[in-house]
Amino acid sequence: MGKPKVVLGVSGGIAAYKACELLRRLTESGHDVRVVPTASALHFVGAATWSALSGHPVSTEVWDDVHEVPHVRIGQQADLVVVAPATADTLARAAHGLADDLLTNTLLTARCPVVFAPAMHTEMWEHPATRENVATLRRRGAVVIEPAVGRLTGVDTGKGRLPEPAEIFEVCRRVLARGVAEPDLAGRHVVVSAGGTREPLDPVRFLGNRSSGKQGYALARTAAARGARVTLIAANTGLPDPAGVDVVQVGTAVQLREAVLKAASDADAVVMAAAVADFRPAAYAQGKIKKKDGQEPDPIVLVRNPDILAEISADRPRPGQVIVGFAAETDDVLANGRTKLKRKACDLLVVNEVGERKTFGSEENEAVILGADGSETPVPPGPKEALAEKVWDLVVTRLN
Ligand SMILES: Cc1cc2nc3c(=O)[nH]c(=O)nc-3n(C[C@H](O)[C@H](O)[C@H](O)COP(=O)(O)O)c2cc1C
């Protein structure tokens, strides 16, 4: 089998230079990449760069090498088309089926998955015309990843920044691995919580846990690659924002509850992968708690935190919503998992065994996914993304 064929469309935004890194990542990971820039893109990065980095000729129009019929062949032969950055203009032309350059011809002839990574000023992104064009492309099955928030061209900051090339690459890798043109979470809003809450004792100390957030981030990343709009509620992870995901940073269990309830009001699925503290210190000391000579320290009095999973499972902010919980157990894993599933009344519970050197912080996971319908789906040891994909498979069956 030859290398997977990827078309990298580049349109005329200031972030075009970042597509060079995406191109490098794609070629170095064994993909045959054909770059199709727009004429405007060449104002930012020249044809020589695209050609040298990809090892293929580069043109913007349908009139070069006409004997090879490139306006049809490039799209027909592609396993994936990714447009990064996608300008407001290119999104508009793609949404309306225009075919006025090589890239838009390629988009019309491609029958493989298509990913757009838009980048533009916030005003352009928020304009109703762009919103409608993005909705049209998503409805037709394209994965349009949400722009990141941050520094834009000139002095402005806001939403509209191209996500990091490494993150766009991850989306491409996931989409290619699934190899389906119709992303099965398209049009869905999913909420994922990740990381571990920290419950402050005083300005310098907290009660925390060992959760790294990697499993939750894998869930967010895979959902975005399957076409979902994703809100990731991240508690103390320090991980880079996944491409195309709206990230809300929180610290404590109470903050996490607030953020989840707000995001869940219009969500199709909520996956609670964060390790939420069951208890928090009853009192918060305004100043650092000091050692007192000859005295034992005061005991720490704890109070219960809200049980977010049970609350959201009981209330279901949106009818038909699928709720997934995680149970980290150290012993009697399955029996404890079944009891927890009943008590929480969620639809699915991902049960895994944890320990100081098991699961937390590692790249791998192993679990059994218990269903409220009595089902048991074992997921063998493997990357956290593999477990994430399995969770979404089960969510999709329940949503449909
Ligand atoms: C310096 C500069 C930066 C630009 N950056 C963007 C951008 O980030 N996103 C965007 O949608 N348009 C941007 N534009 C406007 C596009 O280049 C313009 O709409 C062009 O027609 C897009 O053509 P294309 O979609 O065929 O590439 C920029 C223009 C200039 C001069």
CATH number of the structural domain spanning residue 251: 3.40.50.10300
Active site residue 209: yes
Atom 19 (ligand 1) nearest CA: 89
Ligand 1: centre distance to CA 13 (Å):
4
Q: Are residues 208 and 321 in the same domain?
A: yes
Of 138-152, 206-220, 345-359, minimum mean pLDDT range: 345-359
Q: Are residues 91 and 17 in the same domain?
A: yes
CA dist 12 and 38 (Å) reads: 7
Per-residue pLDDT at 355: 61
Which residue, of 149, 178, 207, is where some domain finishes?
Answer: 178
Q: Are residues 248 and 355 in the same domain?
A: yes
**pLDDT tier at 186, thresholds 50, 70, 90:** confident
Q: Are residues 174 and 203 in the same domain?
A: no
How many separate domains does the chain show? Answer: 2
Pick the atom of ligand 1 nearest to 88's CA. 11
In a domain, 248, yes or no: yes
Q: Are residues 215 and 120 in the same domain?
A: no
Which residue, of 178, 200, 216, is where some domain finishes?
Answer: 178
Pocket-forming residues, ligand 1, beta carbon under 6 Å: 11-15, 38, 40-41, 87-90, 119-120, 124, 153
Which residue, of 178, 202, 223, is where some domain finishes?
Answer: 178
Q: Are residues 21 and 131 in the same domain?
A: yes
- Packing angle of the helix pair 70-77, 102-109 (nearest 10 deg): 50
Judge residue 284's burial from the number of C-beta atoms within 10 Å of its C-beta, 0-12 exposed, 13-18 middle, 19 or more buried: exposed
Give the phi and the psi of residue 378 in degrees, each rounded to 5: -75, 140
**Mean pLDDT comparison of 208-222, 248-262, 355-369, highest-scoring range:** 248-262
8 Å CB contact between 392 and 341: no
Judge residue 56's burial from the number of C-beta atoms within 10 Å of its C-beta, 0-12 exposed, 13-18 middle, 19 or more buried: middle
Q: Are residues 326 and 347 in the same domain?
A: yes
Pick the atom of ligand 1 nearest to 37's CA. 27
pLDDT tens, position by position, 5-56:
999 999 999 999 999 999 999 999 999 999 999 999 999 999 999 999 999 9
pLDDT tens, position by position, 359-374:
556 777 889 999 999 9
In a domain, 184, yes or no: no
Ligand 1: centre distance to CA 279 (Å):
51
pLDDT tens, position by position, 223-256:
988 889 999 999 999 998 888 899 999 999 999 9
Mean pLDDT of the region 265-287: 96
The mean pLDDT value of the chain amounts to 92
Pick the atom of ligand 1 nearest to 93's CA. 25
Ligand 1: centre distance to CA 11 (Å):
7
8 Å CB contact between 102 and 110: no
Q: Residue 330 is part of which domain span? A: 189-399
55, 306, 324, 338, 358 from 332: Cα distances, Å: 56, 25, 20, 10, 16
**pLDDT tier at 183, thresholds 50, 70, 90:** confident
8 Å CB contact between 106 and 72: no
Per-residue pLDDT at 66: 85
Ligand 1: centre distance to CA 43 (Å):
10
Instruction: At 291, list the tokens.
Output: 């050692």
More confident of the two residues 180 and 134: 134
